Amino acid sequence: MSKQRKFKVYLAGPISGCNRVQVRRWREEIEQKYDKDFECSDPSKYIYPNEIDSSEASSGEKKTTPSQIVEADLSLIGKADGLLANMWRESIGTAIGIVHANLAGKPVVVADPNHLGSKTLAFYADRVEETPLKAATFLRKLLRTEAKWSVLKSSGRVESFNRRKLMDAIRSACRNAKCDDVVGPRLVSSKVIGRLQESSRSLKEQFPTTQLDDVIREALKELENDFKAIEGVLSTWERLREEEQIGFPLQSPSSAAFQKPATQARVEISTGGRKNHATIWGKPVNQLRDIPSARARRVFEIIGETHGITRITLGPKGQGNKESRSSCKATVNTSKTLGVIEGKLFDPKGAEGTMQTFQVRVQYESDKGAILKDIIKKLEEGDLLA
């Protein structure tokens, strides 16, 4: 029998203004009881060691700054598989941590032992339980269930289910529909996860991409009449799926992937699903090796190796020699479109033109500026920047 996987769990709960027993006892109980199941991240140990019983600290003891606390919190939450919050009293930091975990696509289970009954808290949680131990039991079950799920792609390849990809895909559709990108993704993903859980209870733990797409469409259709936050998202989702611009693992066979080194995330390159769409090389490009020019391939390899990239989509080709360079090089610029960097690749050896447009999709709009600078720097170092 294979050894059960150990999950990384962030233990959130009130710390500031609390004594050592209030902060540590429940966390220690979780760590001891679930030692075989959880690798716990306890912020009271690593982030706030001087915040507990601060009246006892010496006057010369250095305090942790607010920015250091937030940065460390986000780092630990980002590395966790899930978040368990003990909201035994109202806590600003705990509430913010719950929202951050939810936005990052992490399962969240909350303990409400004093029956605060916050509806806002319940919205962001996968489940609200009465005690921390009950919350831990449910979180363990949830993490084990989702760890068994896999996605069967149309190419025949199987990959692990990723809740964050689901959230990001729905968030992308919401942004493109100019809708709220916090409430909408939470509403839809919660319903989709619930449907998948129902399906997995009947021993079906591998979901074809077509089934995932159907479940998302059904959820959007059911919710859009009741919630303004997702008004128009269904039609936007269908358009983006038709154009193959959704980054969740729902890609069609025409979006075949090329592989980067094992340390990098996989990035896809395609001609965007456009029928009869050819490039300056005289043919559609469904994978990196379809590009005949070694220097052009190197341009897209460099871009694809940049952290935070999700997809490269080739657009219309430039006609004639109106825009050209003496050697194969590229330009990249920011775009008003959310999550997009615009690019042009110049290849004097193109059979049907010398300039090929492309779009680089980034995971988070807030990272776009830094990603653009990184791409420009790498292209410049490789003598590939026009």
| 265, pLDDT greater than 50 | no
| Better-predicted residue by pLDDT, 349 or 133 | 133
- What's residue 240's pLDDT? 79
Q: pLDDT, tens digit, for every residue of 177-186?
A: 888 888 999 9
Mean pLDDT of 85-112: 95
Choice among 130-134, 320-324, 348-352 with the minimum mean pLDDT:
320-324
- What's residue 307's pLDDT? 80
Band (pLDDT 50/70/90 cuts) for residue 59 is very low
Strand order across the beta sheet in which 150-152 lies = 158-160, 150-152, 206-208
Choice among 29-33, 49-53, 323-327 with the minimum mean pLDDT:
49-53
- What's residue 94's pLDDT? 95
In this structure, the number of other CB atoms found within 10 A of the CB of residue 102 comes to 22
Q: What helix, strand, coil percent values describe the chain, rounded to 5?
A: 45, 20, 40
Tell me the C-alpha distance between 261 and 258, whole Å: 10
In this structure, the number of other CB atoms found within 10 A of the CB of residue 90 comes to 12
Band (pLDDT 50/70/90 cuts) for residue 250 is very low
Mean pLDDT of 34-62: 65
- What's residue 268's pLDDT? 65
| 276, pLDDT greater than 60 | no
Tell me the C-alpha distance between 128 and 135, whole Å: 7
- What's residue 368's pLDDT? 86
Mean of per-residue pLDDT scores for the chain: 82
> How many Cα atoms are found within 13 Å in the side-chain-facing hemisphere of 359?
19
Q: Report the predicted TM-score, pTM, of the whole model to 2 decimal places.
A: 0.63
| Better-predicted residue by pLDDT, 145 or 285 | 145
Q: pLDDT, tens digit, for every residue of 168-205?
A: 889 888 988 888 888 999 999 999 999 998 877 766 78
Among 86, 112, 93, 88, residue whose Cα is nearest residue 16: 93
Mean pLDDT of 194-222: 85
- What's residue 132's pLDDT? 97
Tell me the C-alpha distance between 215 and 193, whole Å: 9
Number of H helices, E strands in the chain: 12, 14
- What's residue 12's pLDDT? 96
CA-angle at 342, arms to 336 and 347, nearest 5°: 160
Q: Indicate the helix (H) or strand (E) that contains 371.
A: helix 368-381
In CATH, 7-146 is 1.10.460.10: no
| 89, pLDDT greater than 90 | yes
- What's residue 253's pLDDT? 30
Cβ pair 136, 112 in contact under 8 A: no
Q: pLDDT, tens digit, for every residue of 298-312?
A: 999 899 888 888 888
What is the phi/psi pair of residue 140, to 5°? -60, -45
Band (pLDDT 50/70/90 cuts) for residue 46 is low
| 75, pLDDT greater than 80 | yes
Taking the CA atoms of residue 139, residue 145, residue 147 and residue 152 in that order, the dihedral angle to the nearest 10 degrees is: -150
Mean pLDDT of 264-290: 67
Tell me the C-alpha distance between 104 and 171, whole Å: 11
| 324, pLDDT greater than 50 | yes
Amino acid residing at 314: L
Tell me the C-alpha distance between 8 and 2, whole Å: 19
| 370, pLDDT greater than 70 | yes
Band (pLDDT 50/70/90 cuts) for residue 287 is confident
Mean pLDDT of 324-334: 88
Q: How far is CA 253 from the centre of its chain?
A: 22
Tokens of 75: 């780092």
- Per-domain residue ranges of the chain: 7-146, 149-242, 254-381
**The tokens 């447009």 sit on which residue?**
357
CA-angle at 216, arms to 212 and 217, nearest 5°: 115
With a pLDDT cut of 90, the percent of the chain lying above it is: 40
Band (pLDDT 50/70/90 cuts) for residue 322 is low
| 48, pLDDT greater than 70 | no
